[in-house]
Structure formats: C-alpha cells, structure tokens
Amino acid sequence: MSTAAPVRVGAIVVNFNAGELLVRCVRSVLQSTGVEITGVVVADNGSRDGSVDAIAKLACQDDRVIVIENDANLGFAAANNRALPRISAGNEFLLFLNPDCLIEPDTLSRMTGAMREHADAGMAGCMVTNPDGSEQRGSRRNIPTPMSALVRVLGLDRAFPTRFRGFDLAASPLPPRPVEVEAVSGALILVRKRALDAVGPLDEGYFLHCEDLDWFMRFRQAGWRILYVPDAKAMHVGGASSGTAPVRVEYHKHRGMLRFYRKYYADRYPLPLLWLVTLAVWLRFLAIAAVLTISGGRARQR
C-alpha cells in the first residue's frame, strides 16, 4: 500500500545578531515531524555577533540549510524577499520565522493539517508563548485602526475594557479548534505558497515592524483567511535581534504604524483624526525613547 508523501515546507529566517538562539531556531525547524522540510534559508542582515559562523557550521552538517549574507541591514521585509528565490520549488507551504522563535516537533504538522482542512486559509499562526509558557501578547489579535490606536495611546482600553476593544486577544479564552482571526504573531507565519504567489511578497516600504500587518490586510483583501491554530505551539524569546538599539527599533515600529494607517485608512477616516493619531503616535514614541534612554534600554517595550 502506498503512503501519501509528507507535506513539503520551506522556511526563511532573517537574522540580525540573534546569537546562539539562531542555531536553536533552525534546529527546531529541521527536527519537525510529520512534514518534509525542504530547506531553511537564513538571510543575515550584517550580524557581527558570531551567529553567522555558527549557522554556517550547521549548514556544513545539513545541506538543507542555506546562508545568505547581505553584509548590511536591509530590513526585515527586504531580507525575507531576497531569500524567496532560494527556496526550492514544489513547497506547499512556506514558514517565515524569527530567529528567536523555537517551534515544537509537531508544530508544523498541526498547522499544515489545519490549513489543508481550510482550503481558503492563506496564512496561519500558532499559540506563541513567552519563555514562562504564557501566551504572548500579539499571538492572536485584531488589525489596528487609527481609532483603536488612539484609544490605546490614551489608555481608554485599559480604563474602560468593556467599552473599548483592544488589539490583543491573548487574554480571551483559548479556542478549542483552529479559528479565523484578523492577525497572528509576526514571529511565526505559515503561508500557503499558492496564496503568496497570488498576493505577492512583503512590502519593503516597511523596514522593521508592521510589514506583517500589511501582509495580513493584503491577504484578507484578496479573499484569503488567516487561521489561528491553538494546539500548535512556539516559544518566542523576543527582542533578541533588537536589544542593542531599542530606540531605533521603536522609531521604525511607530513609523511603520503610521505608514500602515496612511496606506489603508487615509480615505476612510477624517483628515483631522489622522492628524491627531499621527501626533499621538509620535508623542508616544518620544515618551518611550526618553524612558529607554534614561534606563539604558532596560525598559524596552515588548
């Protein structure tokens, strides 16, 4: 009796000074069960911490590992897009994974199984946890709007939680089965290759942060659903690649959010509200930058 061939999955990991976590991340992908890992492309954005040498040694031991050295920080979206042509043909799914994210052996088999059951799912995320096992903020979430951003900046969602909806859904009960959500964690995104070919790659106008939100919007606008798979897990350390320049990271995060709002909401919201949101976002950035500067980065936002 013939046995069905396992699902073929290719992976891309963008690295920037992730240290020893990078090798652990790639090994966790290679050790996946129930799927065929055709390759893991590591796109390095000019790291200087020895992580490239470490992953190069792993590449010598396993020819599925491919290392691309960009020699400069191209940004997250651009580095992912440069790696796409190096993924072998014939993959049904592509995994986009942060270098400080570790998956369990059955994570991908559970996720691909869920996506095969939902043919209109173009993307999927899983239960992304903190190192202590708690579900990470942003693991499942709503797409932010200018109004919800203003609510968050003003703290109205915390003061009046029953009236104002927040972005994150991690505080709500865990669903018993895969469910559709507006957005998942950008630390781990499993994409159906056919959907990616239809929608296109990440928008390189974002340097760091919010490119995932942009992608979620584009997939949903094209008619593809986004799944959250609760019984698939990954542990995300967080901040491994951004700890040395937290103010710069916050700048790109806030700049990316404003670009996202302009791109998708400029014609749907009154101009004065967009001006108010822009002012609030930059004031929030200045406040966070001041705290980070005074604390030496120890109070970095997550």
Residue with tokens 């969602």: 157
Please check whether residue 79 is in contact with residue 45, taking contact to mean a CB–CB distance below 8 angstroms.
yes
At residue 243 the predicted structure's pLDDT band, cuts being 50, 70 and 90, is: low
Helices 211-221 and 246-265 cross at an angle (nearest 10°) of 20
Residue 300 pLDDT grade (very low, low, confident, very high; cuts 50, 70, 90)? very low
136 domain residue, yes or no: yes
Region 291-299: what's the mean pLDDT? Answer: 75
Task: Say yes or no to pLDDT of 299 above 60.
Answer: no
Q: Please provide the average confidence, as pLDDT, over all residues in the chain.
A: 91
Asked whether the predicted pLDDT for residue 221 surpasses 60, the reply is yes
In a domain, 258, yes or no: no
- 38-47, 237-246, 260-269: which has the minimum mean pLDDT? 237-246
Give the torsion sign (CA, 60, 61, 66, 71): negative
The three-point CA angle 90-92-94 to 5° equals: 100
Is residue 165 within 8 Å of residue 157, measured between CB atoms?
yes
**CA–CA separation, 116 and 183 (whole Å):** 19
pLDDT digits (tens, 9 = 90+) for 63-109: 999 999 998 999 999 999 999 999 988 999 999 999 999 999 999 99
135, part of any domain: yes
- What share of the chain in percent tops pLDDT 70? 93
102 pairs with which residues across the strands? 235
Domain count, the chain: 1
Residue 297 lies in a domain: no
pLDDT of residue 18 exceeding 80: yes
In this structure, of 167-171, 193-197, 279-283, 285-289, the range with the lowest mean pLDDT score is 167-171
Task: Specify the pLDDT at position 301.
Answer: 37
**Which pLDDT tens digit goes with each residue over 114-137?**
999 999 999 999 999 999 999 999
Give a yes or no: residue 16 inside a domain: yes
| Span of 85-99, 214-228, 229-243 with lowest mean pLDDT | 229-243
CATH code for the domain of 93: 3.90.550.10
Residue 21 placed within a domain: yes
Highest mean pLDDT among 30-39, 243-252, 274-283: 30-39
Residue 63 within any structural domain of the chain: yes
Q: Nearest Cα to 43, choosing from 155, 202, 193, 169?
A: 202
In which domain, by residue range, is 74 found? 7-148+169-236
